[in-house]
Structure 1
Amino acid sequence: MKKNAMKRSLSVLMISFMAMTPFQQTAHGKTNLDINADAAILVEADTGKIVYKEHEDQLLGIASMTKMMTEYLVLEAIQEGKIKWDETYKVSDKVYQLANAPGLSNVPLRADEKYTVRELYDAMVIKSGNGAAIALSEVVAGSEGEFVKRMNAKAKELGFENYQFVNSSGLSNYDMLGMFPKGTDVNDENMVSAEDMATLAYYLIHDFPEVLETSGLSSKVFRPGTDEELVMKNTNGLLKEKAYYYKGADGLKTGTTPFAGSTFTGTAERDGVRYISVILDAKDEYGQPSSAERFTQTTELLDYGFNEFETVKYSLNDIEKKKEHTLNVPDGKEQEVVIKIDKPLSIRVNKEDLDKIETSLNLDENKLNKDGSLQAPIEKGEKIGELRIENPNKEEYILDEKRQSYKVDVIAAESVDKASWLVRSARSIQEFIGNLF
């Protein structure tokens, strides 16, 4: 059989579905989204694919969302055995003053008192305690100045492109009572782009999924049964029992300062699908920073992801509906082999684009004879080719190395030995005679 003829015979295995519209339209094209913020982004948490974006690469203030990087470094230090949840920290004078400063978000900490890393972590994540964040920076790095160096080094390591960390809490340096970290300036601010904040959220969730167990708590009692007992209420308005409750929401962090405005990195999971959203400096209809709008706009972003897209699974049955899928093996003892995939190829697709995906079966050229036919011998479990979703349009990801290839291995479900020379010769003679008549 000629190679071109072989390709034609395989055409039955190829079928076209909807190809996604150009990504730029998907990212920017939902005109009824009412996002009034300096920057916004929506990302698939599983793949890192950008679903929606506005000014995502601009360097902007992040306020207490800075604490997400502090969380990452604390959790990393615990994972590496450098610190422990039950180890205690004695409150320094700097932490005491900032943890009790009027007007700053805090869980009050007593002078010279000892608190566990777990207590400080909960206070930072749930109540956005600034003093607790600074205390943890001292636990991990000895000083906040050294910790800031590690924050920026970690940002670089994780692939950030637009960032500046100047303290562990997210406070403006000028609000730190003159005790801003060594190596920074009184006028410095924590600044990160929306895309890089989404990247931080991505790694925080993937590397330390336990972070959601704490960030998802609507409240928790600090030091219950003591005279320091305090109900810490989470600042995330999307959680249960909150004003802007959103089903599936379990993180991550709010931020508010005069410089940054109202910011929020959110995440929610429904039916096994998770999205990450970032809103920087949300504004109301009058153009003023709005705490409520950061939650309202986050809801719009998340609704867009959950409602306008659906999970589509592709398998060999999408190529041809049959009980068993086989390919011809002319030189095998058995002249066909059953093929299969371990699991369907699953992607999120805009509902409007379901009939544009192009799907194909691509055989490995190294498994083919010179005439283009499948070559024996074949081992059970051997890769024969790939089931692919070909998308001619550009997709964007928060990190290039996370870009999806949309392919799954097609393997042999059974072994096929090569037929003997005598059998192959007999088949050739039979084919020749058949062609005569």
Structure 2
Amino acid sequence: MFKHHKKIVSLFFILTVLLGIFTYQPNNTKAQASLGLEAESAILVDFDTGKVLYEKNADVTLPPASMTKMMTEYLVLEAIKEGKISWDTTTQISDYAYAISANTSLSGVGLEQNKQYTVKDLYQAMAINSDNATTIALAELVAGSESEFVKLMNKKAEDMGLESKFVNSSGLDNKDLGGNHPEGTSVEDLNLLTARSTAKLAYNLIKDFPEVLETSSIPQTTFDGQVIDNWNRMLPHEGVNFKQFYYEGVDGLKTGYTKSGGYNFTGTAVRNGKRLISVVMKTESEAQRFQQTSKLLDYGYNNFTTEELFPKGYQLEGQTSIPVSKGKEDAVEVSLAEGITLPIKGDEAEQYTIEYELDESKLNEDGELIAPIEKGAVIGKAKLVYKGENDYGYISDNQGSVPVVTEQAVEKANWFMLTIGAIGDFFANIFSSAVDWIKGLF
């Protein structure tokens, strides 16, 4: 009886283990594909390649709130780079900026008038504490007025290819500006961005001005004798209440909140040399925006490995050479000028191929290159093609391809050989026409 009971228990244990094996899916790629993300809109981007690893409603325009300040940061850093201002440049606070600073319902460090503030101090208050008044002060310094600065914002957005609308420098709703909304905008206007464009803005900000991370990674600092905290709770804050949001490797970038836009966050982290950029828009709470960001970053770091799919010098099978006209050689070999490296999910490397897009301006009507041709001449590009499902593309249109170049030089044939070739072509055409005429008789 006891032995029989023992066998039943053992059998039950084995069935339980087997059931667990078939139902438990640790880090299952398919299971994580939807992520169950609690955000109206989101996107995840690999910084080095620009590859979009995940998106949810990424092309819906929403109020970005203080993530707007990333564009202000870009233009301030650009003005410093161009020598128009410096970190030590000082400015006073206008009546408009002072009124915003004095409004206790808005994020503010409490600016004073008739006092000189350096660009560095104003920038740190804006980038770390998301201060609105210091943002306006910087906009006025760079462009003369916030109205003119908004024009710069929209021009830069156009240059970057953003789907956006900027109506002020801070990200506040215009109705909260106390009647000081920039000229050309209305009191009901909102800043608008898509998650994709927000990520593209962050991408360009980090790429063009990597020093932005030196400031965005500061958890806490002082401004005018007072301690100010970074609203990015994923940084290593001292406060016990924030430790639950800490995420190893996070060093930026910008939070945002308004009633119209909800809780937003553009995050960026680097682990083992791999940087990711994430955006979540319109989450329901401060905690949720960081929790959903963690979910996005975990997905990127746990499911993707960077692989070189096609090395430099790779030749596409069946298209290793291109025909040449008027050259000493009839064809020239071509290959990739650079290797193609990509973050790959699971075993999907075999899902990728490449195809050539040759520069038609360098080909004659017969699709031939025209001699002379230099070694290493760029004759087109090789574009990466994904044969699987859910290809989210790249953050910029110019990514996902590398130049195709010639492997050797091809000299132009001398006049005698060109003449012989032309005569040969002439008689070949006559013969071909005669054959066609004879065939037509029967």
Please give the TM-score of this superposition, normalised by the length of structure 1: 0.71
| AA matched with 1:147 | F
Q: Which has the higher helix share?
A: 2
Within the candidate set 18, 25, 46, 1:44 is matched to: 46
| 1:303 aligned to which of 298, 301, 320 | 298
User: In structure 1, what is the equivalent of residue 219 of structure 2?
Assistant: 218
Q: CA RMSD in A?
A: 4.1
Of 55, 58, 75, 2:57 maps to 55
For each residue in 1:124-168, what CA deviation from the matched residue of structure 2 results, as whole angstroms up to 9, or x when unmatched? 00000101000001101111111112211211121112x221111
Partner of 2:266: 265
Match of 1:118 in 2: 120
Which stretch has the larger CA shift, 308-317 or 187-196?
Answer: 308-317
Q: Deviations over 1:270-302 (max 9, x none)?
A: 2222111111111xxxxxx21111111111111
- Equivalent residues of 1:34, 1:300 under 8 A apart: no
Change beyond 3 A, Cα 1:82–1:103: same
CA contact 2:313–2:338 (8 Å) conserved in 1? no
- CA 1:92–1:353: 2 relative to 1, 3 Å: same
Question: What does the per-residue CA deviation read over 1:232-271, in whole Å, with 9 as the maximum and x for residues that have no partner?
Answer: 2111121123431112111110001111100011111122
In the TM superposition, 1:353-368 aligns within 5 A as: 353-358=348-353
Which stretch shifts more, 341-350 or 97-106? 341-350
1:182 matched to 2:177? The reply is no
Tell me the SS of whatever aligns to 1:349: strand
Code of the aligned partner of 1:212: L
Instruction: Identify the residue that residue 17 of structure 1 maps to in structure 2.
Output: none
How does 1:199-238 map onto structure 2 within 5 Å? 199-222=200-223, 228-238=224-234
Q: CA deviation at 1:28?
A: 9.7
**Do the aligned residues in 2 keep the contact of 1:69 with 1:200 (CA within 8 Å)?**
yes
Whichever residue aligns with residue 399 of structure 2, its letter is: R
Letter in 1 for 2:395: I
Partner of 2:400: 404
Does the Cα contact within 8 Å between 2:338 and 2:402 map onto a contact in 1?
A: no
Distance 1:236 1:97 in 2: 26
- Tell me which amino acid in the other structure corresponds to 1:310: T
Q: Which has the higher contact order (CA 8 A, sep 6+)?
A: 1
CA contact (8 A) 2:313 2:339 kept: no
Specify the code of the residue in structure 2 equivalent to 1:238: M
Q: Structure 1 regions of 5+ residues with no counterpart? A: 1-26, 223-227, 283-288, 320-326, 328-338, 367-377, 413-437
- Residues 54, 392 of structure 2: 8 Å contact kept: no
What displacement does 1:44 show?
A: 1.8
Per the TM alignment, residue 32 of structure 1 is displaced from its structure 2 partner at its CA by 5.3
Structure number with greater Rg is 2
Aligned: 1:346 with 2:348: no
- Which position in structure 1 is the counterpart of 2:174? 173
- CA deviation map 1:46-100 (0-9, x unaligned): 2322211111111111111111111111111111111111110011111112112
| Equivalent residue pairs, number | 371
Partners of 2:383 and 2:160 in 1: how far apart?
Answer: 29
Deviations 1:306-326 (A, max 9, x none): 11110112548999xxxxxxx
Partner Cα distance (1:398, 1:86) in 2: 35
Distance 1:54 1:28, change over 3 A: farther
TM-score, length-normalised on structure 2? Answer: 0.71
Structure 2 counterpart of 1:133, from 132, 135, 147: 135
- Opposite residue 144 of structure 1, the aligned amino acid is E
Cα–Cα, structure 1 residues 180 and 80, in superposed 2: closer, same or farther, change >3 Å? same
Distance in 1, matches of 2:276 and 2:375, equals 38
How has the CA–CA distance of structure 1 residues 316 and 185 changed in structure 2, closer, same or farther, with 3 Å as cutoff? closer
Q: Which runs of no fewer than 5 residues in structure 2 stay unpaired?
A: 1-28, 316-320, 322-333, 363-372, 409-442
In 1, the alpha carbon distance for the partners of 2:383 and 2:112 equals 60
For residue 253 of structure 1, give the secondary structure of its aligned residue in structure 2: strand
Give the share of equivalent positions with the same residue, in percent.
45
Measured in 1, the distance between the counterparts of 2:401 and 2:379 equals: 18
Letter of the structure 2 residue corresponding to residue 142 of structure 1: G
* Cα distance in 2 for residues equivalent to 1:150 and 1:315: 41
User: Distance between the aligned counterparts of 2:230 and 2:265, measured in 1?
Assistant: 13
Report the AA paired with residue 183 of structure 2.
K
1:245-284 equivalent positions in 2, closer than 5 A: 245-282=246-283
Query: Contact 1:56/1:193 (CA < 8 Å) preserved in 2?
Result: yes
Moved more, 150-159 or 238-247: 238-247
Q: 1:387 and 1:151, CA in 2 relative to 1: closer, same or farther beyond 3 A?
A: closer
Task: Assess if the C-alpha contact under 8 Å between 2:257 and 2:264 holds in 1.
Answer: yes
2:69 to 62, 67, 70: 67
**Aligned residue in 2 for 1:291:** 286
String of CA shifts for 1:370-407, please: whole Å, max 9, x gaps.
xxxxxxxx9998999999865445552232x3231257
Residue in structure 1 matched with residue 370 of structure 2 by the alignment: none
**Partners of 1:64 and 1:170 within 8 A in 2:** yes
The alignment status of 1:144 with 2:127, answered yes or no, reads: no
One of 100, 103, 119 as aligned partner of 2:102 = 100
Contact 2:61 2:194 in 1 (8 A): yes
Distance 1:389 1:232, change over 3 A: same
CA distance 1:120–1:309, shift in 2 (3 Å): same
